[in-house]
Amino acid sequence: MKQFIFSFALIFCIANISKAQDSLIMKSGEVIQAKVIEINTAEVKYKKIDNLNGPTYAVLKTDLAIIKYENGTREDFSALISTIDPLSNMYINGRRDATEHYTNYKVASTATFLTTSIPIYGFLFGIAPAVVCASSPPTYENLGFPDEKLMQNQLYANGYKDRAREIKSKKVFKNYLSALPGFAIGTIVVIAAAITP
């Protein structure tokens, strides 16, 4: 009897967990399983159902068709048309795409990490590449944008380049700071080896 009650409770919990999600149905046909956090005048903020403790994402209401909530209710956005200035929308789209597609910061951040890891002088050697790499914008060929035609729109290109530069700067300084413990350990080892008879 106890096994039956436990099995029934387990099935009930699994069924409720699987229903405890919202569905964002995009106008493009994509379906996102999520937990809606906030709906404001321009966008819907949500967390992905498989990572509720992870980042909060946002989607424009004008890109949504329907939200199906976990309690069974629906909200229809299919009639909405964009009232946002299409020019500023292009800048936002550029920033969003850079967050998704720009990954060519790795050479600069790796070089900073390796230079900083050199014992004794790495702290000094690493700061110069970190500052230079973080302050210089990514080269055009390293941007990794999804579509050449989009980059012809100046606002989209500006949004993409601005976000790519932010990402590169953040990653370079993160690698600089990550290399400092290795620099400290290496320096201690070199000094200890030098003073040991």
Residues 8-19 have a mean pLDDT of: 47
What architecture does CATH give domain 2-82?
A: Roll (2.30)
pTM of this structure: 0.47
Q: Is the pLDDT of residue 83 over 70?
A: no
Q: Which of 73, 28, 37, 81 is nearest to 56 (CA)?
A: 37
- For 129-151, the pLDDT digits (tens) are 777 777 778 888 888 888 888 88
Domain residue extents for the chain: 2-82, 90-195
For 85-125, the DSSP string reads -HHHHHHHHHHHHHHHH--TTHHHHHHHHHHHTSTTTHHHH
Q: How far apart are CA 79 and CA 150, in angstroms?
A: 26
Can you tell me whether residue 192 is helix, strand or coil?
A: helix
d(CA 89, CA 110): 34
The model's pLDDT over 30-76, given as tens digits with 9 standing for 90+, comes to 889 999 999 887 789 999 988 888 888 888 888 888 999 999 899 98
Q: What is the pLDDT of residue 88?
A: 60
Q: Return the pLDDT at 63.
A: 83
> Which tokens belong to 147?
């579509």
